[in-house]
Amino acid sequence: MNTNEDDFFVGYIDNVSSKTKKTVKNFVILGLLALITIAVVFAFTQNTFKNSSFELTTNTKIMGVYHEMPYPMLKVKTAENTFKNILLIGFGKYSANPFLKKIREEASELSGSMLSIEGNLIYYNGKTLLQITSDEKVTLIEKANAKRLPKIKSLVNDMELTGEIVDPKCYFGVMKPGKGKIHRSCAVLCISGGIPPVLATTDENNISEYYLITDQKGDPINKKILPYVGKPSLVTGNVVKIEDWYQLRIDVSSIKELNLPSRIY
């Protein structure tokens, strides 16, 4: 087949007119420039990521006193008379409880026991969490001793706090960002799976504080709080302190969704 030197292109015929070649070449150059521009704009307009960490590929073994008030934690000695309470959570969107079932059966009383747990550390802004991926990695070191348990100190009653209810696993490092609208579905599933809800607040000086949320009796809340997760809310409750963690004891029905407009709507 032959084609004259005109602008009619047939895909299975090799010869292409010089004008067509030039047009296609210009389109490809423009297209590439447009793609690079789009990549530059989208890349540069991302919010700054937090310096939170999730050591997915590194296993760390820590030893400490297990307690659940009401959420599983490990009280770890970091220096003489200095302790840090590490929040324990499970693999995926689950709490630590399924991974502690085996050790519970071994020990008559788990709270106050000295445990060694190997898992993946998650940490940000002074808070540390440990992801447990297997019940085989939880070892009983010493039997329960109530004297080792942290003391609960009541601080303020009926305190009003504004912030976002987040799942701590994602917020403190697994996901970036681990808050806001894009992450809401994930936070709902995490908290629904037993990961404790946390109220993340930020004051006018951009200083953040975090509160583990329980019901008024200090028992876990998961399902009831789901409608409020990932939205700006006004939460009222009694604040207690468990060493380096605050706990906010609330009546879920008192949470007020703040109809704060998002930044563009």
Report the interface residues with another protein, using CB under 8 A: 1-3, 6-14, 16-17, 19-20, 22-24, 27-28, 31-32, 34-52, 54, 91-94, 175-177, 180-186, 188-190, 192-193, 227, 230-231, 261-265
- CB 253, min distance to another protein, A: 18
- Which is closer to another protein, CB of 44 or CB of 147? 44
95 and 193 Cβ atoms separated by less than 8 Å: yes
- Which is closer to another protein, CB of 169 or CB of 249? 169
- Which is closer to another protein, CB of 61 or CB of 92? 92
Q: Taking the C-alpha atoms of 238, 239, 241 and 242 in order, what is their torsion angle to the nearest 10 degrees?
A: 60
- CB 25, min distance to another protein, A: 10
- Which is closer to another protein, CB of 222 or CB of 236? 222
- Which is closer to another protein, CB of 231 or CB of 241? 231
- CB 101, min distance to another protein, A: 16
Instruction: Tell how strand 127-132 and strand 82-90 pair up.
Output: parallel
- CB 22, min distance to another protein, A: 8
- CB 177, min distance to another protein, A: 7
- CB 28, min distance to another protein, A: 6
DSSP secondary structure letters along 188-239: HHHHHTTPPPEEEEE-TTS-EEEEEEEETTS-B--GGGGGGBTSEEEEEEEE
Among all chains, which residue has been given the structure tokens 């583990």? 212
H or E stretch at 67: strand 60-68
- Which is closer to another protein, CB of 217 or CB of 263? 263
User: Residue 248 is which amino acid?
Assistant: L
User: Residue 204 is which amino acid?
Assistant: E
200 and 171 Cβ atoms separated by less than 8 Å: yes
184 and 231 Cβ atoms separated by less than 8 Å: yes
Tokens representing 158 are 């009926």
- CB 252, min distance to another protein, A: 17
Euclidean distance between CA atoms 235 and 163, whole angstroms: 8
Exposed, middle or buried: residue 142 (CB in 10 Å: 0-12, 13-18, 19+)? middle
- Which is closer to another protein, CB of 195 or CB of 235? 195
